[in-house]
Amino acid sequence: MVSKSEEEQLNRLESQVENGGGGAWEYLCLIRKLKIRRSDNVLKYGLTILNDPKKRSSIGNDEWTLYEQVAIAALDCHSYDVAKDCIKVLRKKFPESKRIARLEAMLLEAKGLWEEADKAYSSLLEDNPLDQATHKRRVAMAKAEGDILKAVEWLNKYLEIFMADHEAWRELAEIYVSLQMYKQAAFCYEELILSQPTVPLYHLSYADVLYTLGGLENLQTAKKYYASTIDLTGGKNTRALYGTCLCASAIAQLTKGGRNREDKENQDLHSLAVTALEKDYKKRAPSKLPLLTSTLRSLKLSS
């Protein structure tokens, strides 16, 4: 999870590195730790370290981790030569490694040689059928090929065994959302909330899915999850504020006058959300404020 202070630290380091202030290695470590996809930067600064023997020896044994990181970044930037060279260096150091075999297969995959890559992954899985990373690569490859249904199938098979892997659940949830299979996506997001109940972004996505599903009960639940997102982020998540407003308006439309008791109790929430939104816009984007008020008026929320 990337927290606010970590994000600030990352941005600070990034600008420092960009302006030639050093700290490239720290920057790359932070990227690795936070699992952020900045492949172009990793490639650029990773190569400056790897091409400088003095810098390379100063990081000691982490050199090999860096080679791997740069190789993957190079694949992502489609600089196959760099990736190939990195993998070659790694292969020389670890001739037997499965991890490098996987990297080689990824190179095939990046080049678009699907059949060869598939063969490589299959042979890797034959050696070790419980290799999680390779299973995941196969799912990703099916997705990259455009065969989403196959990816879903692989992923479901994978989750049957590794059912506590929240990253896979997240991938599945995102795929289901892209396929507009919201009920299934909701299930996946529930699973994610179970494994990490304090991450507001899962609550938010779950609420989004429920809101999209529609129906009074789902809308009310969605509103609750938007509320929990607001609470967990201290009201600083704009999407959650909007979500509350949308849910409130949709619920009002569905119930039409016949408001039940629970709604009355929580009436304050969306009016507060409106105020918070207005305040936030006033502070950060005053020019967009009229847009906001007209939107909210169309939702019949603000007077």
Partner 1 sequence: MAEDLVLDTAIRDWVLIPLSVVMVLIGVLRYFVSKLMRSYQTPDPKIVKEGQVILRARNLKSAANFIPPKSFRARRIYLCNEENGLLHVPKGQAQNAQAQMFSDPNMAMDMMKKNLSMIIPQTLTFAWVNFFFSGFVAAKIPFPLTQRFRSMLQNGIDLSTVDVSYVSSRSWYFLNLFGLRGLFSLILGEENAMDDTQRMMQMGGFGMDPTRSLGAEKDNLDIIQHDWVLSKFEQRAEATLRKLVKQ
Partner 2 sequence: MTGLGFVVGVLGVLFLSHAAYSTIQYKNLLKITEDEFSGPPMNVVLELVLGFMFCMHAALSVPGKFQSIHPDSEENRVVSLPANMEFMIFNHRGRAIISEMDMKLKL
Site for partner 2 in 187-226 (CB under 8 A): 198-201
Of 130-138, 208-216, 260-268, 286-294, which segment contacts partner 2 by CB under 8 A?
130-138
Considering CB distances under 5 to 8 angstroms, the limit depending on partner class, which of partner 1, partner 2, none binds residue 143? Answer: partner 2
- In terms of Cβ atoms closer than 10 Å to its own Cβ (0-12, 13-18, 19+), residue 258 is exposed
Contacts by 248-251, CB closer than 8 A, 24 or more apart: 248/223, 248/273, 248/301, 249/299, 249/300, 249/301, 250/211, 250/214, 250/219, 251/216, 251/219, 251/220, 251/223
CB of 292 to partner 1, least distance (A): 15
State how far the Cα of 289 lies from the Cα of 274, in Å rounded to an integer: 12
Give Cβ neighbours of residue 74 (< 8 Å, ≥ 6 apart): 39, 43, 80, 82, 83, 86
**Residue 42 within binding range of partner 2, rule CB under 8 A:** no
Tokens 């599903």 sit on residue: 213
Residue of the chain from 29, 30, 59, 77 that contacts partner 2 (CB under 8 A): 77
Cα 25–86–119 angle (5° rounding)? 130
Smallest distance, partner 2 to C-beta of residue 295, A? 24
Q: Which x/- pattern over 15-54 shows residues binding partner 1 (rule: CB under 8 A)?
A: ----------------------------------------
> If binding is defined by CB under 8 A, does position 136 make contact with partner 2?
yes
Distance CA 192, CA 174 (A): 12
- Told to check if 81 binds partner 2 by CB under 8 A, we report yes
Q: Which residue stretch of 60-68, 83-91, 170-178, 263-271 sits at the interface with partner 1 (rule: CB under 8 A)? A: 263-271
The residue within the footprint of partner 1, chosen from 123, 231, 260, 285 (CB under 8 A), is 231
User: What x-and-dash track marks residues 155-194 binding partner 1 by CB under 8 A?
Assistant: -----xxxxxx---------------------x--x--xx
Report how far residue 165's alpha carbon sits from residue 158's, in angstroms, rounded to the nearest whole number. Answer: 9
Enter the tokens of residue 102. Answer: 């996987």
Nearer to partner 1, 112 or 197 (CB): 197
Distance CA 274, CA 247 (A): 12
Q: Rounded to the nearest 10 degrees, how much is the dihedral formed by the CA atoms of 240, 243, 248, 252?
A: -170
SS (H, E, C) 48-69: HHHCCHHHHHHCCCHHHHHHHH
- Give the whole-angstrom CA distance, residue 117 versus residue 104: 9
Q: Does the footprint of partner 2 cover residue 37 (CB under 8 A)?
A: yes
Q: Which does 268 bind (CB under 5 to 8 A by kind): partner 2, partner 1, none?
A: partner 1
The number of residues that bind partner 1 (CB under 8 A) is: 34
> Mapping DSSP to helix (H, G, I), strand (E, B) and coil, where does residue 85 land?
helix
Q: Which residues bind partner 1 (CB under 8 A)?
A: 128-130, 160-165, 187, 190, 193-195, 197, 221, 223-225, 227-228, 230-231, 234-236, 266, 268-269, 272-273, 275-276, 279
Q: Which residues bind partner 2 (CB under 8 A)?
A: 1-5, 7, 34-37, 40, 43-44, 47, 50-51, 70, 72, 75-79, 81-82, 85-86, 88-89, 106, 109-110, 112, 133, 136-137, 139-141, 143-145, 167-168, 170-171, 174, 198-201, 231-236
